[in-house]
Structure 1
């Protein structure tokens, strides 16, 4: 991975966390100059498109494209055009919400992603058919998810923003981002780095179960919007399939091992991702019960908590694990526990607050004491953890460059 690109992506993560911090602060103090909805749009777009999308773009470029093809100028152009779009959204959305400039930059990002899909489809390493299948599935889901965005644009153009279809379109986009594009590209990268391949029959079975489970579980949104019994039934089938394949994947990766495990210092980030996978599939399985399904799709703290569970606990933790630049020098061995500590405090603390508050609302027990203050403090921890990670990432690279220069002179 190009270290300058990694730094840019990490800074996007920090920007997203700071915007999120402002959202938390708005419930503690009055911030008269900030429009909450506009800032929320800015935070979500930078987090999803500037951090997660570009983060996995880096991993695709560094691990799934042959070295000679990865040198193509098109990848640099794509990275920087996408980054311009991210910075444009980071400024435009907090200032104006969905309006001319923000829509322009969001559209630029979508078309850049289409070009990325086209280029990666042509250039990717085809030596492992299992990785190829997972990668292509991820790319198809990436394009598929954007149908939700185009539907949103059509609805907004006709003034139908308040309708159910508007909410369904948003959930369509988010569902196939998290449960399609991001999930399958994560699996492609994991399988790429396995010490041994899965047997062909076992892989095909797991792949089909996972594919259908992710499509079926979108039915939960249809059930919420239209109260369709058949949608609820399809979601139940998808949840059971997802639980089975999730348990199988966790078991396999635990026993098969990966070359990534050599990065002992950043292993706590990987452990967090593994734990979250277990929580995620268990959570989805519990939603086969109607009361719990209603709670999960109606109560905002539960919704936000589940989104952050995926974004921070699974995908972000994996990126932080992989982006770590190797075993550090002995004199800098104290830094990573600090970043892990603050990241864990921020993530686990905010998730506990959100899910417990959601349960309190469901049981009609009211609001937790110091709920908003607690969320703000845990968000501060998360931002501090990201800052420490960035500082030490640069420090480690500085030591590596210095060591390389010294060896060259010798």
Structure 2
């Protein structure tokens, strides 16, 4: 018997941990801490993507597709070995950065992710393999596998071309693109469509096929956005723009289908879950618009040279689209409990942090004055976000008592 609530709590624990690391990183310029900033950044990013998000998806995928497949022992062994690799990264990255043990644990994690993908492909019931939700989840897992080419290539690049080469930067962007825009987004759509299928909220075959083709074509084409900084031929800009526009069209197709079912969606979901759906839809729409805006040459030059715009965008996707939606799904399947207090604190902290990060980016872009106490403000916003996540985490113990 798999205790999915316990596994979900572990995922939430990683979320809390990365929020603590985030506050630590924001404290670095205003306090005298004796640690290597870059090493902690590596730990923060790895535990965010591989600890919180991956573990949450591992739980949700089991809940959706594997719990009736009689593979609990195999799943449990794989789950806990995966956690071993994550803890190994957590214990090594802050102290050594990219070195022997951190690379070893990262490589072991990649192997476990391949094994998990194989498990899902092999053991999902045939009836579910025909569903629209599984089609999204399957392609999402393939994007995760494809993304691993990036970190696997880093070792070769560092030994041959060095960390200052354009290939090094592009390998990182390749990984992030297929994680953020491929694996995470398609997996989230997979869970969302599963929830609709569960309530017999139907998306027309034509509507889904259009959405599926356009969103995936967009994933492939928008990788070119990641290499616009190299100043390549204008054709690359054109492909990037087409990819960004195609993904907006894909969302329009899906929203149009869901709008027709608006009353059924309202009737079948709680106010909290419906509220999360609306917020994340807005966040995802903003993400697509920002992505498309970044394909125009003038904007591209401003963004590629402005680290705050890049960090703000990545945090917008991670905190506003991926993490908030995951919290909503875990709550929907009764794996965690969410209250208005925790959610409001989280969303407020997230929006405050984003506003301050993008404000700094705008001051650099427009050559405006940046307040001297900017670093203090961004630290405070990170603490507010941490408090929101802490409230959500602590409430789980009250929930489990009940």
Q: TM-score range by the shorter chain?
A: over 0.9
Matches of residues 356-395 of structure 1 in structure 2 within 5 Å? 356-395=359-398
* Equivalent residue number for residue 406 of structure 1: none
Answer yes or no: is the 8 Å Cα contact 1:350–1:379 preserved in 2.
yes
Question: Normalising by structure 1, what TM-score?
Answer: 0.90
Write the deviation string for residues 2-31 of structure 1: whole angstroms up to 9, x where unpaired.
Answer: 111011111011111111111111122231
- Cα separation, partners in 2 of 1:388 and 1:260, compared to 1, 3 Å: farther
Is 2:251 the partner of 1:246? Answer: yes
Is 2:38 the partner of 1:37? Answer: yes
- Cα separation, partners in 2 of 1:259 and 1:48, compared to 1, 3 Å: farther
SS at match of 2:142: helix
The gaps in structure 1 that reach 5 residues or longer are 400-410
Segment of structure 1 superposing worse, 360-369 or 227-236: 360-369
Answer yes or no: is the 8 Å Cα contact 1:325–1:397 preserved in 2.
no
Question: Normalising by structure 2, what TM-score?
Answer: 0.92
* Equivalent residue number for residue 213 of structure 2: 208
SS at match of 1:30: coil
* Equivalent residue number for residue 227 of structure 2: 222
- Cα separation, partners in 2 of 1:70 and 1:260, compared to 1, 3 Å: farther
Aligned residue among 171, 174, 177 for 2:176? 174
* Equivalent residue number for residue 136 of structure 1: 138
Looking at structure 2, the residues matched to 391 and 260 of structure 1 have their Cα atoms a distance apart, in angstroms, of: 30
How many aligned positions are there? 392
* Equivalent residue number for residue 279 of structure 2: 272
Aligned-residue offset at 1:288:
3.4
RMSD: 2.1
Aligned residue among 391, 396, 399 for 1:396? 399
* Equivalent residue number for residue 347 of structure 2: 344
Answer yes or no: is the 8 Å Cα contact 1:175–1:218 preserved in 2.
yes
* Equivalent residue number for residue 270 of structure 2: 263
SS at match of 1:98: coil
Answer yes or no: is the 8 Å Cα contact 1:277–1:314 preserved in 2.
yes
Looking at structure 2, the residues matched to 366 and 157 of structure 1 have their Cα atoms a distance apart, in angstroms, of: 42
Aligned residue among 17, 23, 31 for 2:25? 23
Looking at structure 2, the residues matched to 191 and 281 of structure 1 have their Cα atoms a distance apart, in angstroms, of: 20
- Cα separation, partners in 2 of 1:34 and 1:269, compared to 1, 3 Å: farther
Write the deviation string for residues 224-243 of structure 1: whole angstroms up to 9, x where unpaired.
Answer: 12432111110011111111
Aligned-residue offset at 1:366:
4.2
Answer yes or no: is the 8 Å Cα contact 1:85–1:108 preserved in 2.
yes
